[in-house]
Amino acid sequence: MNFRVQEIIKMIVPGAVLICCLYFLIFNLSDLETLLNKDYVSVYLVFLLVIIYVLGYFLDWFGSLFERSFYHFFSKPSLRLLNNSQANSKQWIKMVKYEEIADELCRKLSKSPHYPYDKKSAEYLFKAANYLKEKNSAIGIKEKLNEFYFYNIFSRNLAVSFLCSFVFYPILYTFHSLGVFNHIEEGTCFRQFNWSFLFVLPVFIMSIFRWREHAMYYTRYIFYSATEDILKP
Domain range holding 74?
3-231
Q: Which residue from 69, 79, 89, 12 is spatially nearest to 215, judged by alpha carbons?
A: 79
Q: pLDDT tens, 130-139?
A: 988 888 777 7
User: What is the rounded distance in angstroms from the CA atom of residue 80 to the CA atom of residue 87?
Assistant: 10
The DSSP code for 50 is H
End-to-end CA distance of the chain: 31
Distances (CA, A) of 4 to 11, 17, 21, 142: 11, 20, 26, 14
pLDDT, tens digit, 9 for 90 and up, residues 99-158: 888 888 888 888 888 888 888 888 999 999 998 888 877 778 888 998 999 999 999 999
Say which range, 156-160, 179-183, 198-202, has the weakest mean pLDDT.
179-183
- pLDDT at position 179 is 66
Look at residue 1 and tell me whether its pLDDT is greater than 50. Answer: no
Q: Which of the listed ranges 14-23, 59-68, 78-87, 164-173 does the model predict with the highest average pLDDT?
A: 59-68
Is pLDDT of 86 > 60?
Answer: no
**Alpha-carbon gap, residue 126 to 115, rounded angstroms:** 15
Tally of domains within the chain: 1
Tally Cβ neighbours within 10 Å of residue 171. 9
The pTM score is: 0.84
Dump the DSSP string for 57-108: HHHHHHHHHHHHHHHHHS--HHHHHHTTTTTTSS-----TTHHHHHHHHHHH
For residue 229, pLDDT over 90 is answered with: no
DSSP at 27: S
3-state DSSP call for residue 116?
Answer: coil
Find out whether 101 and 122 touch, Cβ atoms under 8 Å: no
Q: Which residue has the higher pLDDT, 128 or 86?
A: 128
Across residues 59-84, what is the average pLDDT? 92
3-state secondary structure of 177: helix
Instruction: Provide the H-helix boundaries in the chain.
Output: 3-26, 29-36, 41-73, 77-82, 98-108, 119-132, 141-177, 200-226, 228-231
The answer on pLDDT for 209 being more than 70 is yes
12-62 pLDDT per residue, tens = 999 999 988 888 888 766 666 655 655 656 767 788 888 899 999 999 999
223 vs 7 pLDDT, higher one: 223
